[in-house]
Structure 1
Amino acid sequence: MPKLKIGTLTDNKPVRLTVELPASVHRDLVAYAKALASESGQTISDPGKLIAPMLARFMATDRGFAKLRRAFQSGDSVQPKT
């Protein structure tokens, strides 16, 4: 089985958001939760808890976002390309 991109879930203080997912994305999220539970041995009772680590992983590996974030942190004025 291939290694999944997110590992065990950490217990952080949450910020509540309400999102609507297409049914196909929800089915994939449930399937991912089952695969992760199988790989890690960790029970995942709520597949919605995977959304935060998935988004965090996505943002952490997005080079364009990292470049913009560094520019904002250094105080540079960055204009999005159109």
Structure 2
Amino acid sequence: MAKLKIAALPNDKPVKITLELPASLHYDLVTYAELLARENGQPIGDPVKLIAPMLARFMATDRGFAKLRRIHQGTKQREG
């Protein structure tokens, strides 16, 4: 079976946001949650809880973002 990129859900202090998803993306999110629950044996009560770790994983693996963030943080440190 293929290995999913999201593992266990972290327990972190939430910041509430409102988000609208296209129906097809919501369907995929629900399907992903079902497959993840089957793979890990850990039921996912609300597939919306997957959005934060998915975004974190996406940003952590985006090399362009990492490079620009380092440049941005370096600029902020010199200004501060």
TM-score of the superposition, structure 2-length normalised? 0.92
Q: 1:66 — aligned with what?
A: 66
Which residue type is aligned with residue 61 of structure 1?
T
Q: Higher relative contact order by CA 8 Å / sep ≥ 6: 1 or 2?
A: 2
User: Structure 1 vs Structure 2: percent identity of aligned residues?
Assistant: 68
1:33 shift after superposition: 0.1
Equivalence map 1:1-82=2 (5 Å): 1-75=1-75
More helix by share: 2
Deviations along 1:26-54, one digit per CA (max 9) or x if unpaired, are 00000000000011111100000000000
Structure 1 segments (4+ residues) deviating >3 Å: none
The 3-state SS of whatever aligns with 2:75 is coil
| Structure 2 residue matching 1:68: 3-state secondary structure | helix
Letter in 2 for 1:49: K
Gaps of 5+ in 1: 77-82
Q: Can you give the 5+ residue segments of structure 2 that lack an aligned partner in the other structure?
A: none
What TM-score comes out, normalization by structure 1 length? 0.90
> How much is the aligned-residue C-alpha RMSD, in angstroms?
0.9
